C-alpha cells in the first residue's frame, strides 16, 4: 500500500534510525538532507536518496520503535519490562486496564496499542506536566482516544470498583494503594507493580500479606545485546542492567477460608 502524508515511517541508514511523519519538510542528517515529501507514494521497504546520494530505507515502525522514540521527562519503563507486563496482565483487544503513574507515557502507549479500538486505558497521574507529555506521545501515534486521563492523586480509592481487567502501579509508595487496587479489580484479575529498590519490594510484600491476593511473583529482567561482527561475535561492552523490580499478583475474594 502506497504511503501517504501523515503516515509514520522509520528512515534507516546503518545503525541510525529516525521516526518521522511524511510531510512537506526537509530533514537534515549527517549524510545530507532528506526531502520527506519524496516518501509519499512509496511503500515500506523502499528507499529515498539524501542530497548526497545516500540511500535511507523506509521501514514500518513497530510498537518497539514507538516506545523507544517517545518524548520523555521521566525515566520510562523499558520495552524489556513492558513485554512481560503485557503478558502477565493479559492485555488484549477489548480489555479495560487501569494504571496509576503515567510518567512520560511509555507503558500508557503500549497499553493503548494492545487494548485496541474497543478497549480502554484509565490513567491516574497527579502531575499535569506528565499528563501533557503522555498525551502528546499518544496523539503522535493516534492512540489518544483510547486513554482516559484522571489528573488526581489517589488517597483512599480509585473511581472504579470491581470494574477493571488489570491494574498497574508505578508510584513511589505502591503499598499505600494496594487496597484501592484490590477494590478496583475484578475478582481473579491481575495486579502489576514496578519499584526500583528492594526495600520497596519488601514493603509491597508485607502489604500483600494483609489482603486477599495470591500467585505472587517478584522478578527482575535483564536484556543483553551482542555486537554484530560474525568474526568476533561477543556481548556489547555496555548494557542497561537494573531498571526495576516487577511484582505480580491476582485478586481473590477469600483468604484462608474466610470471607473478606
Residue among 220, 216, 221, 158 at smallest CA distance from 184: 158
Per-residue pLDDT tens over the stretch 85-131 = 999 999 999 999 999 999 999 999 999 999 999 999 999 999 999 99
Domain assignments of the chain as residue spans, ordered by start: 8-61, 65-259
Q: Binding site residues, as ranges?
A: 104-107, 125, 170
pLDDT at residue 98, rounded to an integer: 98
C-alpha cell at 148: 482516559
pLDDT at residue 82, rounded to an integer: 97
Per-residue pLDDT tens over the stretch 27-79 = 999 999 999 999 999 999 999 999 999 999 999 999 999 998 888 887 889 99
Asked if 119 and 96 touch (Cβ cutoff 8 Å), the reply is yes
CA distances to 3, 20, 165 from 141, rounded to whole Å, are 16, 11, 24
CATH architecture of 8-61: Roll (3.10)
Report, as an integer, the average pLDDT of 213-221: 97
Q: Binding site residues for S-adenosyl-L-methionine, as ranges?
A: 104-107, 125, 170
pLDDT at residue 259, rounded to an integer: 44
Fold (topology level) of 65-259: Rossmann fold (3.40.50)
Q: What is the pTM of this model?
A: 0.90
Rounded Cα gap, residues 7 and 240, in angstroms: 31
Amino acid at each position: 500500500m502506497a504511503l501517504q502524508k501523515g503516515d509514520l515511517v522509520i528512515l534507516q541508514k546503518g545503525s541510525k534510525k529516525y521516526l518521522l511523519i511524511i510531510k512537506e519538510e526537509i530533514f537534515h542528517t549527517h549524510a545530507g538532507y532528506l526531502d520527506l515529501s519524496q516518501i509519499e507514494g512509496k511503500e515500506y521497504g523502499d528507499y529515498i536518496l539524501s542530497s548526497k546520494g545516500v540511500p535511507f530505507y523506509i521501514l514500518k515502525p513497530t510498537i518497539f520503535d514507538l516506545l523507544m522514540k517517545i518524548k520523555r521527562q521521566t525515566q520510562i519503563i523499558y520495552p524489556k519490562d513492558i513485554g512481560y507486563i503485557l503478558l502477565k496482565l493479559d492485555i488484549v483487544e477489548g480489555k479495560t486496564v487501569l494504571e496509576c503513574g503515567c510518567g512520560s507515557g511509555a507503558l500508557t502507549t503500549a497499553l493503548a496499542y494492545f487494548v485496541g479500538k474497543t478497549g480502554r486505558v484509565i490513567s491516574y497521574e497527579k502531575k499535569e506536566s506528565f499528563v501533557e507529555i503522555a498525551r502528546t506521545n499518544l496523539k503522535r501515534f493516534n492512540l489518544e482516544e483510547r486513554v482516559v486521563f484522571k489528573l488526581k492523586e489517589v488517597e483512599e480509592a480509585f473511581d472504579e470498583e470491581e470494574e477493571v481487567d488489570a491494574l498497574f502501579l508505578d508510584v513511589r509508595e505502591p503499598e499505600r494503594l494496594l487496597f484501592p487496587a484490590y477494590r478496583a479489580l475484578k475478582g481473579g484479575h491481575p495486579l502489576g507493580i514496578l519499584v526500583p529498590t528492594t526495600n520497596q519490594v519488601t514493603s509491597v510484600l508485607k502489604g500483600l500479606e494483609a489482603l486477599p491476593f495470591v500467585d505472587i511473583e517478584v522478578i527482575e529482567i535483564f536484556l543483553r545485546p551482542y555486537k554484530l561482527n560474525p568474526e568476533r561475535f561477543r556481548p556489547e561492552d555496555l548494557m542497561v542492567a537494573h531498571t526495576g523490580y516487577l511484582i505480580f499478583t491476582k485478586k481473590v475474594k477469600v483468604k484462608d477460608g474466610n470471607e473478606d
